């Protein structure tokens, strides 16, 4: 890990530990100066970003977690969803209700129908039984694909923005602003096919939030993200939740479940909805 | 209208950035034109029409396949099916015209004593029909290889079938052949009239077929109910 990567990961860890923005900027700037003047491997000089950030957070304190607002009205209600592919039943009577200001995670083993459930909620495929009610505008981020290789990121923003009636300038600005929240400065002159897999996913995610949907469906959108971006991603989800969005994330990464309000486990033996562990939003 | 034009613009931008594809799209009709140029020029012009048709419909097929993953999310972003298929078709029509124009000039300067208005009309038929044909195949066959092979079958049939036979009228580019025959062989006006009617009917039919297929593929599913925020 070079100095820039270390500093970025360190800044992300500070944010995750809710160190005040001014304090975090100050600490990161000090570390950067130290590394520039003294040189050396940052992992040797300071240790792992997470551990150093934890030590900093303990010494200077952190902002208290925001008091969560009560969940708002129902934005997504799926019930009785059954889907078969040939003789194989992938989903049987699955359901999920997500309110404004909630994040729901869909978990389960490979092939248990997580993406299928999400695509049914998005209206991209039809179930054999069941219905979905969505209140407000819907946004969807696929696991992969969904971008055009020979367009620039800005042109993706214009294309998606035009669908929601946004003019070119505002669409570009909104796209770039949303990209920055993921720690990505969308370049103006690099074709999508030249972006790395992780950066392409940032574009994908940015496109899904551009039109400010009320319900956001994300199918493992963090493929290829580095650690810092992954933390930025969950921070961004937190901001969207606080802004009253209803969010559904398909995830394999169980360690993030403490950041969600609801968990839908589609493992065949499971098939249950339970509350999240509430470590992030304080909601149990 | 803005949504449709935006899709058309992005289709054109994507195509123009694929310089290798553009070069091959120009090379294909040029090869068809030059391969028989030492013999009767009329046959060269007829082959040129086929080359243009093949190049543009192949571009349409691949553009449609490439957009398959993007279109459902554009639908969610506020586009209607007609914005997507008409916008893409508009972009491909513009690209087809840009491909055909240099070949029209080539014929004007290289082949004397032709009815150049007829040559232009024949090319217009090719350019009008090729995008919806390629899009239709691309929409019906999700994999590019199958689509390309089907297009090859259609073009081969078009190339080898007896143009005077009844079956030829069922091929998509029969119109351009009839009009080109009028232009290069100085035949009677019946060729022009038949070709024009066929061209218009096939174009309208193809566009309607594309509309039907896209409307089904990108339809709003019945299990999903949208309610306004309120």
pLDDT in tens, A123-178: 999 999 999 999 999 999 988 778 899 999 999 999 999 988 888 999 999 899 88
- Residue A215: strand pairing partners: A138, A246
Domain membership flag for residue A233: no
pLDDT of residue A279: 40
Instruction: Using the predicted structure, report yes or no on whether residue A210 has a pLDDT greater than 60.
Output: yes
Chain B residues with beta carbon closer than 8 angstroms to that of A164: 77-78
- Residue A247, in any domain of the structure: no
In three-state secondary structure terms, A270 is coil
pLDDT digits (tens, 9 = 90+) for A72-112: 899 999 999 999 998 888 898 999 999 999 999 998 888 88
- Over residues A180-192, the mean pLDDT reads 82
User: For residue B18, which residues of chain A lie inside 8 Å, CB to CB?
Assistant: 150
What is the mean predicted confidence (pLDDT) over B30-46? 87
- Which of residues A250 and A57 earns the better pLDDT score? A250
Instruction: Report the alpha-carbon distance of residue B77 to residue A156 in Å, rounded.
Output: 12
Averaged pLDDT for residues A202-217 = 89
Most confident of A56-60, A222-226, B65-69: B65-69
Q: How far is A71 from chain B (nearest CA, A)?
A: 15
Task: Report the pLDDT averaged over residues A192-217.
Answer: 88
Of A126, A138, A146, the CB nearest to B70: A146
Quick one: CA dihedral A105, A108, A110, A113, positive or negative? negative
Cα–Cα distance for residue pair A221/A233, rounded to 1 Å: 9
- Cβ distance A149 to B66 less than 8 Å, yes or no, reads yes
A180 inside domain: no
Which stretch, A30-39, A59-68, B108-117, has highest mean pLDDT?
B108-117
A28 found inside a domain: yes
Q: Residue A20: pLDDT above 80? A: no
> Whole-angstrom Cα distance, residue A75 to residue B228?
10
- The closest CB to that of B6, out of A121, A162, A211, belongs to A162
Side-chain-side CA neighbours of A85 within 13 Å: the count stands at 8
| A169 lies in some domain | no
Q: Tell if the CB–CB gap between B13 and A207 is shorter than 8 Å.
A: no
| Contact between chains at A162 and B17 (C-beta distance less than 8 A) | no
CA nearest to B228 within chain A: A136
The count of C-alpha atoms lying within 13 angstroms of the C-alpha of A86, restricted to the half-sphere facing its C-beta, is 1
**Arithmetic mean of pLDDT over chain A:** 82
Q: Does B20 touch chain A (CB under 8 A)?
A: no
pLDDT at B121 over 80: yes
| Nearest residue in chain B measured CA to CA from A138 | B76
Identify the residue with better confidence: B13 or A197: B13
Contact A102, A246 (CB under 8 A): yes
Angle at B134 between CA B133 and CA B135, to 5 degrees: 90
Rg (CA), chain B: 19
**B83 Cα to chain A: minimum distance (Å):** 9
B227 CB within 8 Å of a chain A CB = yes
pLDDT mean over A107-126: 90
Whether B69 and A207 lie within 8 Å, measured CB to CB = no
Reduced DSSP (H G I as helix, E B as strand, rest coil) percent helix, strand, coil of chain A, to 5: 40, 20, 35
Q: Which residues pair with A76 in a beta bridge?
A: A98, A134
Longest dimension (CA), chain B: 73
What does the DSSP 8-state code read for residue B169?
G
pLDDT of residue A15: 73
Note the pLDDT of residue A32. 83
Q: Does some domain include residue A106?
A: no
Strand (E) or helix (H) holding B56: helix B41-66
Residue A254: per-residue pLDDT: 63
DSSP, res A99: E
- Percent with pLDDT over 70 in chain A: 87
pLDDT score of B147 more than 80: yes
Checking if the pLDDT of B100 tops 70, the result is yes
Location of structure tokens 């009309």: B121
Chain A interface, mutation test: which of B6, B11, B13, B77, most A Cβ atoms within 10 Å? B77
What ipTM, to 2 d.p.? 0.89
| Stretch A20-25: mean pLDDT | 78
| Band of residue A48 on the pLDDT scale cut at 50, 70, 90 | confident
When divided into structural domains, chain A yields a total of: 1
For the segment B151-207, what is each residue's pLDDT rounded down to a tens digit?
A: 999 989 988 888 888 888 899 999 999 999 999 989 999 999 999 999 999 999 999
Whole-number pLDDT of residue B89: 96
Band (A280; pLDDT cuts 50, 70, 90)? very low
* DSSP run (H or E) holding A271: none
Minimum-distance CB partner of B227 among A120, A131, A135: A135
User: Distance, in angstroms, between B134 CA and closest chain A CA?
Assistant: 19
Among B69, B224, B225, B230, pick the best mutation site for testing chain A contact (most A Cβ within 10 A): B224
- DSSP assigned state of B171: S
State the pLDDT confidence band at A269, using cuts at 50, 70 and 90.
low
The parent domain of residue A53 ranges over 3-60
Listed residue (A204, A203, A197, A221) closest to A143, CA to CA: A221
pLDDT of residue A282: 32
């Amino acid at each position: 890990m070079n100095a820039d990567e270390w500093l970025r990961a360190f800044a992300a860890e500070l944010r995750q530990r809710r160190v005040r923005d001014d304090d975090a900027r100050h600490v990161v700037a000090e570390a950067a100066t130290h590394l520039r003047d003294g040189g050396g491997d940052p992992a040797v000089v300071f240790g792992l970003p997470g551990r150093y950030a934890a030590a900093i957070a303990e010494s200077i304190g952190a902002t208290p977690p925001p008091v969560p607002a009560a969940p708002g009205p129902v934005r997504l209600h799926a019930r009785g969803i059954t889907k078969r592919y040939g003789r194989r039943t992938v989903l049987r009577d699955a359901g999920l209700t997500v309110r404004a200001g909630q994040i729901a995670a869909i978990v389960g083993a490979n092939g248990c129908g997580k993406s299928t459930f999400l695509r049914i909620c998005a209206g991209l495929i039809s179930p054999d039984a069941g219905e979905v009610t969505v209140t407000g505008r819907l946004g969807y981020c696929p696991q992969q694909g969904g971008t055009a290789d020979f367009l620039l990121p800005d042109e993706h923003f214009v294309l998606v923005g035009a669908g929601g009636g946004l003019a070119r300038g505002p669409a570009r600005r909104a796209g770039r602003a949303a990209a920055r929240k993921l720690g990505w400065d969308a370049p103006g002159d690099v074709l999508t096919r030249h972006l790395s897999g992780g950066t392409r996913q940032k574009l994908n995610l940015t496109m899904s939030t551009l039109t400010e949907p009320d319900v956001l469906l994300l199918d493992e959108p963090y493929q290829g993200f580095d650690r810092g971006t992954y933390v930025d991603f969950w921070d961004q989800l937190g901001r969207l939740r606080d802004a009253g969005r209803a969010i559904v994330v398909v995830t394999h990464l169980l360690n993030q479940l403490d950041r969600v309000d609801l968990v839908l486990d589609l493992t065949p033996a499971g098939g249950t909805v339970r509350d999240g562990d509430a470590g992030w939003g304080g909601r149990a | 209208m803005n949504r449709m034009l935006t899709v058309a613009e992005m289709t054109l931008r994507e195509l123009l950035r694929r310089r290798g594809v553009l070069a091959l799209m120009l090379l294909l009709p040029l090869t068809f034109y030059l391969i028989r140029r030492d013999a009767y020029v009329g046959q060269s012009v007829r082959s040129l029409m086929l080359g243009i048709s093949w190049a543009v419909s192949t571009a349409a097929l691949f553009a449609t396949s490439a957009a398959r993953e993007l279109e459902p999310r554009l639908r969610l972003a506020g586009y209607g099916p007609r914005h997507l298929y008409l916008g893409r078709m508009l972009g491909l029509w513009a690209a087809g015209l840009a491909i055909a124009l240099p070949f029209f000039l080539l014929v004007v300067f290289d082949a004397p004593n032709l009815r150049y208005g007829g040559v232009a009309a024949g090319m217009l038929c090719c350019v009008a029909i090729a995008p919806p044909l390629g899009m239709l195949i691309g929409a019906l066959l999700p994999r590019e290889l199958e689509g390309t092979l089907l297009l090859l079958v259609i073009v081969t049939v078009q190339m080898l079938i007896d143009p005077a036979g009844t079956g030829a009228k069922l091929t998509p580019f029969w119109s351009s052949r009839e009009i080109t025959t009028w232009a290069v062989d100085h035949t009677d006006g019946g060729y022009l009239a038949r070709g024009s009617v066929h061209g218009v009917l096939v174009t309208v039919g193809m566009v309607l077929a594309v509309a039907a297929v896209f409307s089904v593929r990108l339809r709003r599913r019945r299990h999903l109910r949208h309610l306004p925020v309120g």
